[in-house]
Structure 1
Amino acid sequence: MSKAITGRCLCGASSYRTESKPINIRVCHCKLCQKATGAPFFARVLVPLDELNIAGPVQWHNSSPEVSRGFCADCGSALFSKRASRNAIGLSFGSLDRPNEFAPEEHIWISEKQSWLHFDDGLPTHSCSVPT
């Protein structure tokens, strides 16, 4: 059995757990992710949606026809980006209990990145999205 991936919001009211291995680990620079997180990018660990257990008060907002964003209903912490049609859900790095156990594999949507952001991590970059 794999080591569990766990996380929670700032106030601790909402949490999640999965025994699944990550599908991929990416940093998204699209404008929707910037708006949803209030940050210049969204770093996330993608796991199978049907293998994630969520507890606590999570609210959802449809940010596009394909993506729903989940956040704690109490403190507002950004927790998830869900693509139900692909059975996938992104767990925000900021909400992970052990974020240093994961490292991004690539940057996506760099065509929309902040102009002052420069990459020196050697990771692959993509101007738009790549398949899950």
Structure 2
Amino acid sequence: MTSLKPGVVIDALALDVAHETVPAEHDPQDGTTAGATELGDFAGLETGVWEMSRGVMHDTEADELCVIIAGEATVEFLEPQLSAVQLRAGSVLQLSEGMQTRWTVHSEQLRKVYLAP
């Protein structure tokens, strides 16, 4: 596992993120896969890199702040009903515990760095 250390750079685009088929309860489409690599804790927050292949999946979110570093996607908010958002490299998104979402990745893959309590 790669881990955060003061003064040490991690290339989040170069990290190997092992994918698995998204479980059926997430209603994946088109053979969607996803994976994550934890980077450890920072100031009491879990940090890591998450990636999803082109495709569609539903999710129940945790509290999280994420920064998209590669790819393009649409996130639809099913509960609560909010306007869909378009994500691309540089997008910052806050998610809240219990949100019901549908992720549609339009590019070959979507990669984000996340911080979660």
TM-score range, shorter chain: under 0.3
**Larger strand percent:** 2
Scaled by the length of structure 1, what TM-score is found? 0.23
**TM-score, structure 2 normalization:** 0.25
